[in-house]
Structure 1
């Protein structure tokens, strides 16, 4: 063979490089197809919820549902990486989750048959811990709802239907930018009667200040009530229960066994005037006043408290007392509670009538005029006025207490405080103004009718008050 033939059979350099490049591409394509086939059953969803703070044990539960190919990928590449984060902190977090769940099970708030969800950072670890305790239906998610600039409203990031879970646990309340969104989202996906549990950071210098720790959660709840609070591992555990459907408002509060006023009035509820949707003509003549059913001859100290009368529409200073009431108004020690001194000072012109300045009814401090006439309560100058404490001190030794109030946000919170503290047991008769109009700030969830029915179911002798 001559040299020309040899030169013809050997490709030049450029052709050789082109052929090798094409062979490399073909081999890469074949390898990629094989890798995709191996990983076809692999779920990458765990990457969204597992963080370096999660223990490698978190991945153990995920391994149970893996295909052979995805398990190979896990064992060769993922576990060696995440294994470096198997730290004492992870073990402490696992113990904390177990302590929380064990506490709730001991209080009979939770059992292993509950459908549970763990929300937020470390959710995969919490899921693993609950599975070790015997929970079979538990999942985790590390997402919160965000504001959508495109749709211009808040969109739920917890992709679950309303009323989906028996138990929801989160320790992210102190970590999110808008805690209210997390609380509302958790409450939304809880079933009626379901339990929500949140770990909240300690506020202030005292770790035992449980009252303050409850406020960030309880103040945001719409259809739930706090049922348990406990200090745990430098955090405060706040547990709330979603009200069952058609439940009475305030039924989550346990009243004292010795509650004299409700013990007397509860049997009389059936004899009261019926609740109506619209204001009846001459409604005041149709009211079944409580003294009609009682012997008031032995009553010595009678107290009448009117809260927020200045905010009522068509308020008339000449007819502030209850019309046709069986007891003369002069027999009462009268207290008007409001922030508007210019209006209510006109009431305070008779003996036995006291004006109580309560700036909290408007949410800001209102200057007190110097040229006031009549009796003013000494608490008028107290910037830290504790209205509930004042109310209990004023009425606890009274023989008969009548409370009349509007249904503003602050007033409704006061009713809840009365139940929670047991001070509702000092109230004999309640007159509540709640119009139920669309623009009424005081309308509670479910409407005014639900509020009245709930109060009466609890034994409160409450009347619908349609304004002066």
Structure 2
């Protein structure tokens, strides 16, 4: 083998020596000892074998296309199929699915989906699988013939409602996309809500849809709220059990503890048709809420419509008369369920909205509750007790509205 400078390697025993002179006139010789060729081959083969072992998972996933544990659904979301086994076992443990129940999985028409469900032995657990049904195939299912239905979405909710028995269970994963948001129908009741890799809700059919006489003027709007939103409301910051002084409430320390709904949902807000902020002030008081909203709310680079409403509080002797500039009437006329609505309002207004079932038109609420200890820690019997403010906060949160205390 030719070496730099025209020198050659000389074999001496089992060691190769490379002689390089430091200079033309130098008497010093640099000797570099190289390992035996057999040892080099052994090391190189070991390294190659280790690389092959490390890359086997990647090679396997390429050969298989998509693994059993994950699959891209028609909604372009990655769904972890390993959680289905956990979900079905948990539902059985809760008594929501029993042995012998006629069960169906409604799946989008995806080749990978078919192979994945088959590999999970779903049919061996008492499930039938319906994939991308056409009208003729749907008509083959008899009315109220199934005890349990799992659907990857409820795009065809009428079909699922028709084939499910009264008392039957529907389970579905929730989505943060408002266009895919699950909205509970009035003839269903939520009986299960749990988070694995995805959040799942199970609802029980309590009656036939055509048997319900729903009065549009008196329907409970909270029943039509996004369950994905309600599932994360528990992540809202805890209520302050003691009334803070104004100095603390206005500080950045309190603001840093506020957990806004878009951040909890991981929602860009771009998919909503409209985004609306409504500030409600009593008796012309300026709370500075609009300026605060523009400076602090995570709008995610989207535009919000801003509305500033003024409401006159009721006098004690005229409590039977409706509020002037009624907020509930304004909401019914100006916002829809598919809009994203943020509101700042005083407790009196919120109580009235709860009575008229319009509170659930609001996604996120900043609740102002002037209490008896508000100004300087001294009792003022003309205002609410602080425990009443806490109780109202809890009622609003229980309805699925993301609510924060407003102290500014």
* Band of TM-score, shorter chain: 0.3 to 0.5
Q: Could you say which structure has the higher strand fraction?
A: 2
Query: So what's the TM-score if we normalise by structure 1?
Result: 0.32
